[in-house]
Amino acid sequence: MATQPTPDNASIETATVQIRTLNVGPKQMTQGIFRQLIEQPAVDGNGRIQGTPWGIVNYHPDRCDDAKEHLHVVWQLGDQLRRGFVMAPKHARLRHPLVAEYVTARVYEGARRNTPSAEYGDLKIYRSVTTREIEATVHVWGVQFAATVSPLALSVFDRAGYDEQAERLPADFEDAYERPLRSSAEVKELLPVEAHKAAWHELSALPQLFIGR
């Protein structure tokens, strides 16, 4: 039976040409062992790096090599190793409790589908073909967020004009979240944009770890 990697028996060795190998005991970690590591996000919804990152591996076990820019991070959680799939913030569809409020406020303030204004061009709301829920994606200062929003938000977003349906959005939001709807400008300042950018920058700067086949 292959030795399972833990922070106690795993190590990083550096050759004279600065090639760093990820070892389990005396042997180099293989792709098979890497796949056995529990996959867990290395960054939480607030942009905080979880545990201690060791390095990045240029191996795509889930056939994701054609996916948009991302990293495979080896990191330590307590006395265990994890592998984490981390998308670049601009492609990440990050989930945060305030995103639904931000999107709803944008729609209430006038964002509509196919509006020529660039201010609204970064917002998409649609019904998911898999879950049938109403999903929204929005870019905020170069970071992509995602949330589930109400059918009313989609209905208003799809309309060309500002009508009585839009006037119901604050009450619709308050019924769902038990708090008043704030302005999009106020909520935008509370989204963890810079934290996610900083986490991506830190993880991207990690050394590359080489594993065997």
For range 96-124, the mean pLDDT: 85
What is this structure's pTM? 0.84
pLDDT value for 212 = 87
Q: Among 182, 145, 177, which residue's Cα sits nearest to residue 45?
A: 145
pLDDT, one tens digit per residue, over 46-101 is: 999 999 999 999 998 888 877 889 999 999 999 999 999 999 999 999 999 999 99
pLDDT value for 134 = 97
Q: Among 93, 82, 73, which residue's Cα sits nearest to residue 199?
A: 73
- Does the structure show a pLDDT above 70 at 160? no
The mean of the pLDDT values for the chain is: 89
- Does the structure show a pLDDT above 80 at 13? no
Separation CA 75–CA 70 (nearest Å): 15
Strands 38-39 and 80-87: parallel
Separation CA 101–CA 92 (nearest Å): 19
Separation CA 148–CA 96 (nearest Å): 10
pLDDT, one tens digit per residue, over 163-201 is: 789 999 999 999 999 999 999 999 999 999 999 999 999
- Widest CA span of the chain, in angstroms? 70
Separation CA 7–CA 10 (nearest Å): 5
* Residue whose pair of structure tokens reads 């550096």 in the numeric block: 14
* Residue whose pair of structure tokens reads 């589908």 in the numeric block: 113
Which of the four pLDDT bands, split at 50, 70 and 90, describes residue 39? very high
Q: Among 179, 131, 170, which residue's Cα sits nearest to residue 152?
A: 170
pLDDT value for 118 = 53
Give the contacts of 141 (CB within 8 A, at least 6 positions apart): 193
For range 32-58, the mean pLDDT: 94
